[in-house]
Amino acid sequence: MEMALAAATFIGTDAWNADLYGSLSISSRLSAAIKSSAAQLKIAGFFWKTNQKIESFLDRIDSAVRDAESAAAKGKSKNEPLDRVRVEKAVNQLLDLYLILDNVYQHCVRYRLNNFSRLAGGLSRLRRNADRVNELAMWLHDVLNPDFKDAFASAGAEFENGETVPASEVCR
């Protein structure tokens, strides 16, 4: 599937490894020393920088997915076969990144860094970015291991028969 391949192309590149893992190791080391106001500002800066880099990579991936999807919709798809090995590698790299981000977040929360107003925003942004990374990994995993065909077929049939439940009933 081309959308998955477009996403996988970005993951694991030299830029990805150097930028993301480089800044994360610095964040982890600094999270241990947080007594002074100056240290807090420094760590807040590193959180900001790390979040910016992750968001920039994730936005580029979303943009590649959107472009691949638009091209497919216009019939301009390249029809490249799905490279399972490449996508599996991307899933593993994303999961590694997720585990690192989750570890940094859990470590910081354990040391109650989230109680410092200068750091709380950056930390919760880090949590959201970790979730985005995990979401991306899960999506690629689902594309490789489709277990959803029956669910779509049955929902489509329910819709055709007028048996689906309107949102107004569910939201009550």
Partner 1 sequence: MPLEVSYSKQAANYLKNLDAPTKRRVLEKVAEVSADYMDPRNSKPLEGSEKRSARVGKYRILLLAVKEKNALIVAEIASRGQVYRET
Contact residues for partner 1, defined by CB under 8 A: 1, 3, 62, 65-66, 69, 72-73, 88, 91-92, 95-96, 131, 134-139, 141-143, 146, 148, 151-152, 154-156, 158-159, 163-167, 169-171
**Residue 165 C-beta: closest distance to partner 1, Å:** 4
**Residue 150 C-beta: closest distance to partner 1, Å:** 9
Q: Which is nearer to partner 1, 96 or 118 (CB)?
A: 96
CA 115 to chain centre: 25
Q: Which is nearer to partner 1, 30 or 138 (CB)?
A: 138
Q: Which is nearer to partner 1, 35 or 172 (CB)?
A: 172
Q: Which is nearer to partner 1, 64 or 123 (CB)?
A: 64
**Residue 138 C-beta: closest distance to partner 1, Å:** 5
Q: Which is nearer to partner 1, 38 or 151 (CB)?
A: 151
Cβ–Cβ < 8 Å for 137, 95 = yes
**Residue 107 C-beta: closest distance to partner 1, Å:** 19
**Residue 85 C-beta: closest distance to partner 1, Å:** 11
CA triplet 144, 135, 25: central angle to 5 degrees?
110
Return d(Cα 26, Cα 118) in angstroms, integer: 18
Return d(Cα 155, Cα 148) in angstroms, integer: 11
122: how many CB neighbours lie within 10 A of its CB?
23
Cβ–Cβ < 8 Å for 91, 133 = no
Separation in Å, CA 109 to CA 9, 113, 116: 33, 6, 10
| Residue type at position 167 | A
